[in-house]
Amino acid sequence: MTRRLALFFALISACFPQHLRRECADVPVKTTDGKTIRISQYRGKVVMFVMVVTTDDDCLRMMQSLSRLQTEMGPRGLQVIGLSIDDTAANTIPFAERYRFPFPIGHLDRRAAIKLADLNANARPVVPYILFVDWQGSVRFQYAGNDPIFNQGDKGIRAIADGLLRQAAEKSGPHLAKP
């Protein structure tokens, strides 16, 4: 199993050079239900942050795809967190209420989004923007909306999530369910 995981991540790294390993910024996210969440509370889970603009059709399709992924892989330890990076937080609540995603939705201002993605202060992230954070709190992969991984539908994203979940189950023990 270890060899297969190593081979999987080697292939992903070769195809997608955005493979990283850096500590994820523990930015606070105010959710649409009034709670504040932080990455640190999800230690032990594989977390996918998806930054979106609530008026963008590609972002909506991505959120709907990730809804299916959350439902399917959530019991194995996946946690999707939707992050509106609209200019104003006012669009976030109606968006979340309309679509009722099975994961938390919050709003990040520009400064917090740039900190989370570890981007240059002048950057304007192309949405949807996805960060994969492993069970130890390290960002392992991140992709802007213009990356070739998005041309694969949800296959590439699903493969990365599945690989990280398998790796977490192998490294962390039985508290993360194996498929």
CA angle 127, 130, 136 (to 5 degrees): 160
Q: Facing residues of 50 across strands?
A: 82, 130
Angle between helices 2-15 and 155-172 (to 10 degrees): 140
Q: Domain 2-172: give its CATH architecture.
A: 3-Layer(aba) Sandwich (3.40)
3-state secondary structure of 42: helix
pLDDT of residue 4: 57
What pTM value is reported for the model? 0.86
Domain ranges, ordered by start, for the chain: 2-172
Residues in the chain: 179
Q: Give Cβ neighbours of residue 65 (< 8 Å, ≥ 6 apart).
A: 153, 154, 157
3-state secondary structure of 1: coil
Share above pLDDT 90 across residues of the chain, in percent, rounded to a whole number: 77
Backbone phi, psi, residue 177, to 5°? -70, 140
Angle between helices 155-172 and 57-73 (to 10 degrees): 30
What value does the mean pLDDT of the chain take? Answer: 88
- Containing H/E element for 37? strand 36-37
Q: Give Cβ neighbours of residue 89 (< 8 Å, ≥ 6 apart).
A: 30, 107
| pLDDT greater than 90 at residue 57 | yes
Q: Give Cβ neighbours of residue 40 (< 8 Å, ≥ 6 apart).
A: 26, 137
Q: Facing residues of 22 across strands?
A: 139
| pLDDT per position as a tens digit, 121-159 | 998 889 999 999 999 999 999 999 999 999 998 999 999
Whole-number Cα distances in Å, 108 to 5, 13, 111, 115: 33, 29, 8, 10
| pLDDT greater than 80 at residue 172 | no
pLDDT of residue 155: 95
| pLDDT greater than 90 at residue 175 | no
- Find the mean pLDDT for residues 46-68: 96
